Amino acid sequence: MTRGLRSPREWLRWIASNTKRLAILIIGAALIAAGGAMLILPGPGLVVAFAGLAVLATEFAWAERTLDRTKAKAKDATNRVAASAIGRIGLAASGTGMLVGGAITAAISNTYRAIGIGIFVAGGCALGILLPATQRWLNHTAQSTSQSSERNPS
């Protein structure tokens, strides 16, 4: 069986779709590599690596499954920390320390102002995990993620 020649429009469509996949692969892999380097070097390594995984998940099913499992494990870890008294005390103490330290750093240092603001925001996020509304949102997000992965087992 012989195949006919493809039209220029089909070729352009094929090139465009594969160029997009290649660009997403390169950007996602670069973010994951940068996140891995930031685990050793200063920087938000896990956040950048998860961002890379999220970029890859837009085009690749294996990355979407990995991202769903990672989200579920992060939610479980958050719930375990917030469920124990020692975890809540530690989270409250570290969040408060980050808020205070970040605010002081941002206020007195021009050079490290951005770092101080980042620490302040991270402390606010840590304290936000303790709020019941945040816990309900995390549980809702995890349930919707697990339901979507059950519907799409790809």
Domain assignment present for 68:
no
Provide the percentage of residues in the chain whose pLDDT is more than 90: 25
- Least trusted range by pLDDT, from 17-31, 72-86, 106-120: 72-86
The neighbour count for residue 120, using CB atoms within 10 Å, is: 19
* Type of residue numbered 81: V
Closest CA to 51 of 37, 34, 74: 34
Of 11, 30, 61, the one marking the end of a domain is 61
Of 61, 93, 112, the one marking the end of a domain is 61
CA 137 to each of CA 45, 71, 79, 121, 144: distance values in angstroms, whole numbers, following the listed order: 25, 13, 12, 19, 11
CA 95 to each of CA 52, 63, 92: distance values in angstroms, whole numbers, following the listed order: 26, 31, 5
Domain assignment present for 71:
no
Please indicate, yes or no, whether residues 54 and 106 belong to a single structural domain of this protein. no
Domain assignment present for 13:
yes
pTM of the predicted model, to two decimals? 0.58
Across the range 51-72, mean pLDDT stands at: 91
Please indicate, yes or no, whether residues 149 and 86 belong to a single structural domain of this protein. yes
Q: Which residues form the domain of 110?
A: 77-154
Please indicate, yes or no, whether residues 85 and 129 belong to a single structural domain of this protein. yes
